[in-house]
Structures are given as structure tokens and as C-alpha cells.
């Protein structure tokens, strides 16, 4: 869906205007939009560093690696139609502290088709499994979990492995779920550095699925103590 809003900057040909975009958006944070000139579909995103974010978009190798970790509507569209069939808008520049708020505003206003989840700061156009949606439904990101929420997450984790075990389809008491979960030696803590809030997951796999990145990617960034998607810091947390 397009709208009559007037962008701060427009790059009419994403391929030809690449280096102009880099130059004009170096060290700037804000909200951007990809526009498919053939289908009229769009994608709204935000970045703490617009130039750095677009260096990923402009690398087909990076796009292919990210697609190997999980599906993305905007990445797939870029590969399918080519940069020359997209324009790019800078909708506004803003402080990092309000990026989420402003991104959500434009997602709600413009209803961009490539933003499948319609939730600000989701991975670009990512498709989540039903189990991951259940985790999102717990509103886990941005707060420490209550014991009830942790128990629900443990139940989800057990059911995820159901088809590989004889436990599938059985009802589990809270006590048995806790016992099974304690077999995991390490919990994983995810810190949202924008909101300065943390979430604790049962292990690397649960954290990776929630962030919608590959397990190897999460482990690598955790080991290097680097931010995932320029936002999330992952570390080990002792199991309860």
C-alpha cells in the first residue's frame, strides 16, 4: 500500500543510486522503505545505521546467507526483481531511542506488503513457526519471564521435539516439565540494547528461533560478544 506521505529522500533507482545513498546516510539512524516498481509492494524498516543496514541489502551473498537461515519476503523480492526495479525512500531520520516507535507508526500507516509480521524490529519479512508465534504471544521480549511464562516456554520446547521422542502427544504435569527442562545446563539471555530489557530462553535453539537466525549464527555472535541485527546481545545465563 502506498501513501501520500512525502519522504525526506527518495532514490528512484536502487541500483544506480547505491553510493549516493551510502554517502547521504552515513552515521544516520531512521526509517526507510523499499518500493517494488513492478508490483507496487513495499517494505518498511529501521536502522541504527542506515548505511550499514543497506550494505547488507546490497550484498547478494549476505542476502543468500540470511535466506538460508530463514525466509524473508523483502530479501527474496530483491533477488527476484533486481535492484534496478526498486526505489528507496528515507521516511525520516530519528533518534535510536524511538526507532521502534517510529517504525511501527509507518508499518501501521502504510501497511507494507513485505512486512509479513507487522511488528516493528522483526527480522525483515520473516516467517515464524507456530511455536515461535507462541513465544511472541507470551510477549517475552522486553521483560523477565514469570515462572508461569517460563513453564509455558518449556512446554513449547518439549512439544517442539515431540515427533522425535516417545513423549509426543502426552500431557505433562508442571513438575515433569520442570524436570525435563533442567536437563538443559544453560539458559540463554537476550538483551535488547535499544530498550535495555532482557529475555531468558531455555537454550541456544530457543533463542535462535525467537530471533529467527540460524543456530550457528547465534552461537558465533554470542562467542564474539557482538550484536545480532545491531540490537540483540546474547549471553549464557545459569539455568534455574
Which tens digits make up the pLDDT trace of 74-111? Answer: 999 999 999 999 999 999 999 999 999 999 999 999 99
| pLDDT at residue 142 greater than cutoff 70 | no
| pLDDT at residue 139 greater than cutoff 60 | no
Residue spans per domain, the chain: 9-110, 130-238
Spatial distance between the Cα atoms of 71 and 203, rounded to a whole number of angstroms = 22
In the predicted model, what is the mean pLDDT of the chain? 79
Distances (CA, A) of 4 to 91, 109, 129, 178: 12, 11, 34, 53
> What whole-number percentage of the chain has pLDDT above 90?
45
Answer with the residue of higher pLDDT: 5 or 23.
23
Confidence of residue 123 (pLDDT cuts 50, 70, 90): very low
Spatial distance between the Cα atoms of 177 and 155, rounded to a whole number of angstroms = 6
What is the residue whose three cell numbers read 514469570?
146
**Domain 9-110 homologous superfamily, CATH:** GIY-YIG endonuclease (3.40.1440.10)
Spatial distance between the Cα atoms of 127 and 74, rounded to a whole number of angstroms = 11
Task: Write the DSSP assignment of 89-124 as a string of letters.
Answer: EEEEE--GGGHHHHHHHHHHHH--TT-SS--TT-ST
| pLDDT at residue 162 greater than cutoff 60 | no
| pLDDT at residue 25 greater than cutoff 90 | yes
Amino acid at each position: 500500500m502506498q501513501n501520500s506521505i512525502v519522504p525526506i529522500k527518495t532514490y528512484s533507482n536502487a541500483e544506480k543510486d547505491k553510493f549516493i545513498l551510502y554517502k547521504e546516510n552515513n552515521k544516520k539512524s531512521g526509517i526507510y522503505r523499499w518500493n517494488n516498481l513492478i508490483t507496487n509492494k513495499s517494505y518498511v524498516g529501521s536502522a541504527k545505521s542506515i548505511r550499514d543496514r543497506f550494505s547488507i541489502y546490497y550484498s547478494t551473498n549476505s542476502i543468500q546467507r540470511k535466506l538460508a537461515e530463514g525466509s524473508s519476503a523483502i530479501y527474496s523480492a530483491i533477488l527476484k526483481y533486481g535492484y534496478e526495479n526498486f526505489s528507496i525512500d528515507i521516511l525520516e531520520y530519528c533518534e535510536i531511542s524511538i526507532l521502534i516507535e517510529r517504525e511501527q507508526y509507518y508499518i501501521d500507516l502504510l501497511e507494507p506488503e513485505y512486512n509479513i509480521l507487522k511488528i516493528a524490529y522483526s527480522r525483515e519479512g520473516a516467517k515464524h513457526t507456530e511455536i515461535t508465534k507462541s513465544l511472541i504471544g507470551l510477549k517475552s521480549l522486553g521483560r523477565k519471564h514469570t515462572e508461569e511464562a517460563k513453564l509455558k516456554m518449556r512446554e513449547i520446547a518439549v512439544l517442539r521435539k515431540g515427533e522425535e521422542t516417545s513423549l509426543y502427544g502426552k500431557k505433562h504435569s508442571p513438575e515433569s516439565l520442570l524436570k525435563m527442562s533442567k536437563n538443559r545446563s544453560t539458559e540463554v539471555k537476550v538483551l535488547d540494547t535499544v530498550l535495555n530489557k532482557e529475555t531468558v530462553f531455555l537454550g541456544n535453539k530457543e533463542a535462535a528461533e525467537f530471533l529467527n537466525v540460524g543456530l550457528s549464527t547465534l552461537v558465533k555472535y554470542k562467542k564474539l560478544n557482538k550484536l545480532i541485527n545491531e540490537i540483540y546481545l546474547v549471553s549464557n545465563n545459569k539455568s534455574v
